[in-house]
Amino acid sequence: MAASDNQWESQSSQLYQQIFQKIKQHPQRRITFAEFMEAALYDPTFGYYATRARLIGQTGDFFTAPHLAADFGELLAEQFVQMWSILGRPASFTLIEMGAGQGLLAGDILRYLLDRYPEFCQCLDYQIVERSQVLVALQQQHLRPFESYIQLCWSDLTTIPTDAITGCFFSNELVDAFPVHRVRFSQGQLWEVYVTTADPDGRSSRPEVLFREVEDGLSTPDLGRYFADVNVHFTTPPYPEGYTTEVNLRAIAWLEQVARCLHQGFVLTIDYGYPAERYYHPARSEGTLQCYYRHRAHGNPYLHLGQQDITAHVDFTTLEQKGSACGLQLLGRVPQSLFLMALGLGDRIAALSQSESRDRQEIQAILRRREALHSLVNSLGMGNFWVMLQGKALPYPLPTLKGLESPDSTTPL
């Protein structure tokens, strides 16, 4: 076994000890799945985002759009410049990137803006909200070259004053990384899924075989209300016995916080998901929970404790409903493929095809780039992600956002 495998195994056991203690201290000896996922992903020492997140990409467990090509960030930058224009080119425009991973997307955006839009850069205040301290360190290292040219800082959503921000809050694959509650429909009733352990003394070296799921009453009435709000009733039509799904209450709290901080501007959210009626369709009987370990996707969150990513799809209906309840008007949502095409990805692909280079290495680089650009819009992958745009206190009449200028922008999810 490689040294690093030993190290990771030891980190897993230490995380297991912590979760075991939490379970043991609880009067009913169980924690919600959301608490389990919180520890597995975000324990500051042994959680996934402390241990392996620095490896996201080829050498890690999954990759995201910025790992494919800088074009993703560059096209987003085009959208931000138009937003600035729509707001009347204010002297201070803030971009807040939430969940910035290794800082790649920020780097691509800033490099392009400095090169093409120096005037915008003079007004730009770029802030990052990041939960993982390991990733903050990587971001700071990656973005150091920009510090002399752009106002750049790291902030915390909870400390941004109410109505302080004119600009745009944005995220790529943030919401799917929030801890979710799991619920199960059984014997005509909705139960919450809790995590317990069959281990009497917490000494096991194989936590994955000892975690057990138990069902009990809902930990919060918000879970029941959630389904009423999206018009999902498990008895009509009858859902299959054992139907299991997830609820992302954290996403609601997050969006409310963003809406509170936004004085005027936009919220741009990119992620994979469905509207509630598809998310909670009776046929999706095992929910959408997915784990990623060394580029393999599977459905067992108790394996590779603290060493694998755990995600759940995003319910966009809830983000739209709760957004409008807290003052965020839905401007549109489109598949990522159409969003990027509307911003010029098609022209970039076409330009690549017109290259007349005869140099072997150059041709190979062009082919690689073309493949990467196609991956961004592939309808079986990232092209099928959703881009949701919301806004607050925007001028009227509002010009169409460039990324929404596609014939399909009103297509229901």
Ligand X SMILES: C[S@@+](CC[C@H](N)C(=O)[O-])C[C@H]1O[C@@H](n2cnc3c(N)ncnc32)[C@H](O)[C@@H]1O
- Whole-number minimum distance, CB 282 to ligand X, in Å? 29
Q: Which residues pair with 95 in a beta bridge?
A: 126, 168
Which residues 6+ apart lie within 8 Å of 59 measured at CB?
Answer: none
Would you count residue 130 as binding ligand X (CB under 6 A)? yes
CA distance 242 to 187: 8
Q: Which of 31, 68, 83, 105 binds ligand X (CB under 6 A)?
A: 105
| DSSP code, position 403 | G
- Whole-number minimum distance, CB 103 to ligand X, in Å? 9
Name the nearest CA neighbour of 103 among 129, 77, 142: 142
Q: Which of 47, 101, 306, 391 binds ligand X (CB under 6 A)?
A: 101
Which residues 6+ apart lie within 8 Å of 240 measured at CB?
Answer: 185, 282, 285
Give the range of 118-126, 131-139, 187-195, 275-283 binding ligand X by CB under 6 A: 131-139
Q: Which of 11, 12, 51, 64 binds ligand X (CB under 6 A)?
A: 64
- Whole-number minimum distance, CB 195 to ligand X, in Å? 20
- Whole-number minimum distance, CB 130 to ligand X, in Å? 5
CA distance 182 to 366: 45
Q: Taking each helix axis from N to C terminus, what angle separates 345-353 and 360-377, rounded to the nearest 10 degrees? A: 150
Q: Name the residue nearer to ligand X (CB basis): 87 or 267.
A: 267
Give the range of 19-27, 94-102, 277-285, 397-405 binding ligand X by CB under 6 A: 94-102
CA distance 203 to 5: 20
- Whole-number minimum distance, CB 242 to ligand X, in Å? 29
Q: Taking CB under 6 A as the criterion, which residues in 35-54 touch ligand X?
A: 49
Would you count residue 170 as binding ligand X (CB under 6 A)? no
Site track for ligand X across 371-390, x = CB under 6 A: --------------------
Question: Token pair for residue 143?
Answer: 């973005």
- Whole-number minimum distance, CB 289 to ligand X, in Å? 15
3-state helix, strand, coil in the chain (%, to 5): 45, 20, 35
Question: Token pair for residue 138?
Answer: 């990587």
- Whole-number minimum distance, CB 142 to ligand X, in Å? 12
Q: Total number of residues binding ligand X (CB under 6 A)?
A: 18
Cis peptide bond N-terminal to 282, omega within 30: no
User: Which residues lie near ligand X (CB under 6 A)?
Assistant: 49, 64, 66, 98-101, 105, 129-132, 135, 172-174, 177-178
